[in-house]
Amino acid sequence: MADIAKAFFITGISGSGKTTLAENLKKLLPKKQYRVHDFDEKGVPKNASYTWRYKTTDNWLKTAKKYQKANVSMILCGQFVPSEVEKSSEFSKKLNIQWGFLHINSKEIEERLSGKYRSLPPQKVQLFKKWAKTIQKEVENQNKSVKTKDHEVFRTADKTPEQVAQLIVDWIQRQSSK
């Protein structure tokens, strides 16, 4: 078993590799110690609202608490920001959250969102670039918060999905033994 069950919240913008990461982590991490989920695994309603996102966040925090009680760590990959999670009615200081951010540089954001994987218009791509900076800043600021214990920024643009997954597995295992 993991020494201390934790919740690993791994975030990033659209196209950063969160869904692919979740699939790879499911293959790499022992199910007895870890449960891997994609924030959107139950589906995203058309025109999803903040209400849907907050309700879904509440449900994931409830799930993380249940896992922690069973001494199982949860890995959740999705697009969320720490301040929203901490505002949840289900947030608890007792829940040991470790934050990870999948960083891709501006050029890679543009390539992935305007053609390589998706076909977003240039204005939307620019909004995602700003959003990426916002999320990264919040994750980096978590080391100043008494509510969470650690964070990590993973620079992934020059890595294969398998290499990214191994970086995350190494981080999770280090954090699990702290």
What are 13-69's pLDDT values in tens digits? Answer: 888 899 999 999 999 999 999 999 999 998 888 888 888 889 999 999 999 999 999
Torsion angle of C-alpha atoms 92, 94, 100, 101, degrees rounded to 10 = 20
Q: What's the pLDDT score for residue 150?
A: 66
User: Which of the four pLDDT bands, split at 50, 70 and 90, describes residue 143?
Assistant: low
Structure-block tokens of residue 122? 């240039």
pLDDT at 70 over 70: yes
User: Which of the four pLDDT bands, split at 50, 70 and 90, describes residue 119?
Assistant: confident
Domains and CATH numbers, the chain: 7-176 (3.40.50.300)
d(CA 167, CA 41): 23
d(CA 55, CA 38): 15
Q: What is the DSSP string of 136-150?
A: HHHHHGGGG-SS--E
What mean pLDDT do residues 149-167 have? 87
